[in-house]
Chain A
Amino acid sequence: MPLIDLANPTRFLALTQRLLPGLAVATALAFAAGLYLAWFVAPDDYQQGATVKIMFVHVPAAWLGMGIWALMSLSALGTLVWRHPLADVAAKTAAPIGAALTFVCLVTGALWGRPMWGTYWVWDARLTSVLVLFLMYLGVLALWRTVEDPARAGRAAAILTLVGAVNLPIIKFSVDWWNTLHQPASVLRLDGPALHSSIMTPLLVMALAFALLFVTLHVSAMRNEIMRRRVRTLRLMQAGAA
Chain B
Amino acid sequence: MGPLGALLLRDMRLSLRVGGGALMGVLFFLIVVTMIPFALGPDLALLQRIGPAILWLGALLASLLALDRLFAADHEDGSLDLILMGRTPLELAVLAKALAHWITTGLPLVVATPVLGLFLNLDLTAVGAVALTLAVGTPALTLIGLIGAALAVVLRRGGLLLPVLVLPLTIPVLIFGVSASNAAIVGPVPFGTPFLVLCALTLMSLVVGPLAAAAALRQGLD
Q: Do A and B come from one complex?
A: yes
Asked if residues B165 and A135 are in contact (CB atoms below 8 Å), the reply is no
| CB nearest neighbor in A for B194 | A177
Give the total of B residues in contact with A, Cβ under 8 Å: 27
Is B26 interfacial (CB-CB < 8 Å)? no
Question: Considering only CB atoms, which chain A residue lies closest to B188 in the complex?
Answer: A181
A159 with B219: in contact, given A174-B171, A181-B189 (CB under 8 Å)? yes
Q: Identify which of B161, B168, B175, B212 contacts A136 (C-beta below 8 A).
A: B168
Q: Are A181 and B155 touching (Cβ within 8 A)?
A: no
Q: Is B220 positioned at the interface, with any CB of A under 8 Å from its CB?
A: yes
Contact at A167–B169, with CB atoms within 8 Å? Answer: yes
10 A-B residue pairings within 8 Å (CB atoms): A143-B155, A153-B155, A155-B219, A155-B220, A159-B151, A160-B165, A167-B168, A167-B172, A174-B175, A177-B197
Chain B nearest CB, measured from A126 CB (Å): 15
- B172, A174: Cβ atoms closer than 8 Å: yes
Q: Do A178 and B179 touch (CB < 8 A)?
A: yes
- How many residue pairs, one in A and one in B, have C-beta atoms under 8 Å apart? 80
Q: Is residue A139 contacting chain B, with contact meaning CB distance below 8 A?
A: yes
* Cross-interface CB contact of B154 among A135, A156, A166, A174, cutoff 8 Å: A156
Of chain B, the residue at the smallest CB distance from A146 is B157
- Residue interface mask B152-177, A partner, CB < 8 A = 1: 00111100010011001101100110
Q: Nearest chain-B residue to A159 (Cβ)?
A: B216
Query: With A and B bound together, what is the CA distance between A166 and B168 in angstroms?
Result: 13
Q: Is the Cβ of A163 less than 8 Å from the Cβ of B219?
A: no
A163 adjacent to B208 (CB under 8 Å): yes
A163 in contact with B155 (CB, 8 Å): no
Collect the chain B residues with CB atoms within 8 Å of residue A132's CB.
168, 171
Q: Which of A139-179 contact B (CB under 8 A)?
A: 139, 142-143, 146-147, 152-153, 155-156, 158-160, 162-164, 166-167, 170-171, 173-175, 177-178
